[in-house]
Chains A and B, each alone.
Chain A
C-alpha cells in the first residue's frame, strides 16, 4: 500500500515504532570527519525524520548494526562462560537499494554458508528494512552495472518529496499504523536510477589467469594497506578473534570478534610465522577478484554491490571501479603473453 505522510505524521509513526524498536538511519555527525571542521554521515539511532540524511551517501554502511565492528561473544571465568544477552528491542534500518542487496551477501555468509552464525542470526531476526529510494546516483555509484539499483525486498520504502514522505509499505503489520497517521493514500513506486556516471565492465572472459597481469603491480606502491575500503564495504564479512584476559584479574576475560581487512597487515599470517599476500598489489588482486569473480562462482551473484564507498574513502584515490575496468585489458595482456 502507498501512503503520503507529512513530517508530523511520519514522526507519529516513528514514535509508535520506537516503543519496541530502535530506528537506525544515516545521520550527520557534526565534526565527525577525519579532518578538522568536516562532518561525516554515519549510521546512528534516530528519533525523527529530519535527522535522516537523504541527500548524501553514508560514509559507512548499515553493516555495523547487523555485524558489530567489535562484538563480545562470551565472557569467561575460571569455570563458567556467559554470552551477552541479545538486544531486547527490534531494529528498523533505513538503507538504499545497493545496501539492501548487501544484506543478501551478509546473509549468504552468515546464514547459508554452512552452520548459521547465532550471533548474526539473533540480530538479523530482529531487523526490518526501510528502503531509501534513489532519485539520482552519486558520482562513484555503479549499482546499475552490478544489478543492485532496484530492490523489492523491503518492508517499506520512504522518500522525501514536495508533498511529503512517500511510502510504499509491504509489511502488513504496519498498514494500520500508516493508514491511521496519513491524510493521503496513493500508489507509490520507490525511485531507482537507471544509469550511473561511473560504469563498470566485468569481462565475460575473466579467469584466474588475470592474476598474472602486470596491472596489480601499480597497487604495490599506490595502496597504503589501511583497510578503509574493507571497512566501508557493505559486503565484506571477514572478522578476527581476540581472547582477552582482563588486566585486573588475569583469570577472567572475554572473547571478541572484530572486523578484519584483507588489505591490512596480519590478515594472512599463519602459524609458524608465514604470511601470504605481502604485497599490496596482491591484496588488491585478491579483494577485487573476490568481489567480482570467485564469490559469484560459489554463490551465483557478485559480491560487490556497486555502492562506490571504497572509491569515496580511499585516501590514495584508488578507484575500485577503475580497477574493474582494467580487467579486460589485463585479460588481453595475459592471453597475449601465452600465444
Chain B
C-alpha cells in the first residue's frame, strides 16, 4: 500500500490508528447546516465507513473506517456537501483543498439565542470564504456574547459579539433592572445617578444585559454590530493559554483584515523546520515580539472610532 500521507492530510483525510483505514473530515462553518446534509453524511458512513460518525470538537463531522482506496468515491459524495455549505474548493469533485486552516466554530448565535449580539453562523461563513483553503494552521471561533459559550479564548482568533447600548433617559423609570443585571451577571458598569442610569464605557463589555433587562426599552441595541477580538489562545502540550483581549468595539471588516494580514505574517515568520510544518501563531509571536506582529496584523486596518486597542499583549498560561 502506497499512500502519500502529506497529500492525504491536505485533502482532509486522516492517518488513523487502523492501518489501511482513514477518516474523512467534513467542515461545517459555524456548526450550522441544513438538516438534509446529515443524510448525505450518513450515506458516506454507511457506504464507505464503519457506520459511525464523530461530531468533532470543531463542530465538523469525522467519518471513520474508510479504506484508502475509497477516497475518490467519498470525495464524490462529499461534493454536494462542500458545495451546499459554500466551501471554497480548488477542484470540483476532489474533496477539500486544505486542512490546515481549521473549521470556523461558533455558538448558535442570534439564530436562536436571546443573548447573542449577532448572527455567528453568517460571520463564520464570511470568514470561511475569506480564509479557506489555506494550509496554515489557523483556528478561528465566534461566540455571540461575552458569555463565550464557544470558548473562543482557546483559539488564535476569538470573536465575541458586542452591542453598544443606547440609553434614552426619557424612557427610564429607574426600576433598577439594568443596574442589577449588569452588577450580578456582567461587569457592574452601570450606576444610578439622580434617578437615571450612567454607563461606564471603560468597564462596559457590550454584552447587552441592560437591553435585555430593560422593561421600557430605555436601553436599546446599536444599529452597528461590534466585536471583541481576543488573540492567540491555544491548547497543546508546550504552553496552553487563553487568548488575551486585543480590540474591544471592533467591526467585522477590521477583524477579517486582521486575520488575513496574519496569514502574511505567518508565511513570513513560520519556523519551516517545525514538526509537520505546523506552528501555532502564538509561538511565532513569542519569537518575533508583539510589535512586529502588530505591524503586520494592522496593515490597512481602519478601526471604528469606538474601538479600544490593548497593546502590548502578554500571555500567561501553563508552563512546565
Contacts and interface: CB of A to CB of B under 8 A. Distances in A.
A64 B194 CA distance: 22
Contacts of B177: 226-227, 264
Given A69-B170, A69-B172, A34 B119 contact: no
A37 B194 contact: no
Given A36-B221, A256-B195, A231 B110 contact: no
B227 interface: no
Contacts of A70: 169-173
B163 interface: yes
B194 A258 contact: no
A36 B195 contact: no
A32 B114 contact: no
Interface stretch (A164-172, A180-188, A210-218, A238-246): A238-246
B97 to A, nearest CB: 33
A161 interface: no
Nearest to B172: A70
A322 B110 CA distance: 30
A64 B215 CA distance: 14
Contacts of A240: 173
Interface in B157-208: 161, 163, 169-177, 193-195, 208
Contact of A246 (B119, B194, B216, B217): B194
Nearest to B171: A69
Interface string B104-133: 000000100010111100000000000000
Contact of A42 (B174, B217, B223): B217
Contacts of B118: 36-37
Contacts of A247: 193-194
B217 A32 contact: yes
| Residue from the set A36, A40, A246, A256 with the largest chain B CB neighbour count within 10 Å | A36
Interface residues of A, number: 33
B224 to A, nearest CB: 10
B213 to A, nearest CB: 8
A275 interface: no
A36 B117 contact: yes
B122 to A, nearest CB: 10
Contacts of B223: 30-31
A192 B264 CA distance: 66
Nearest to B109: A36
A259 interface: yes
A270 to B, nearest CB: 18
A257 to B, nearest CB: 10
A67 B208 CA distance: 28
Given A30-B223, A36-B110, A69-B170, A227 B116 contact: no
Contacts of B44: none
A265 B215 CA distance: 13
A203 interface: no
Contacts of A264: 175, 177
B195 A231 contact: no
A164 B53 CA distance: 59
A259 to B, nearest CB: 5
B217 A258 contact: no
Contacts of A40: 217
Given A36-B110, A36-B208, A244-B194, A259 B216 contact: yes
B170 A32 contact: no
B194 A34 contact: no
B212 interface: yes
A84 interface: no
A227 B213 CA distance: 11
Nearest to B122: A37
A264 B216 CA distance: 13
A213 to B, nearest CB: 27
Interface in A220-251: 226-228, 231, 240, 242, 244-247
Contact of B195 (A29, A37, A244): A244
Contacts of B110: 35-37
B215 A226 contact: yes
A231 B216 contact: yes
A97 interface: no
B163 A36 contact: yes
Contacts of A261: 173, 175, 215
Contacts of A42: 217
B45 interface: no
Nearest to B222: A31
Contacts of B214: 34
A69 B216 contact: yes
A227 B175 contact: yes
Contacts of B171: 64, 69-70
Contacts of B221: 31, 36
Chain A to chain B: the 10 pairs with minimum beta-carbon distance, closest first: A242-B195, A258-B173, A228-B215, A244-B194, A36-B110, A259-B173, A227-B215, A231-B215, A69-B171, A35-B114
8 contacts: A34-B114, A34-B217, A36-B118, A228-B215, A231-B173, A242-B194, A242-B195, A261-B175
Interface of B: 110, 114, 116-119, 161, 163, 169-177, 193-195, 208, 211-218, 220-221, 223, 225
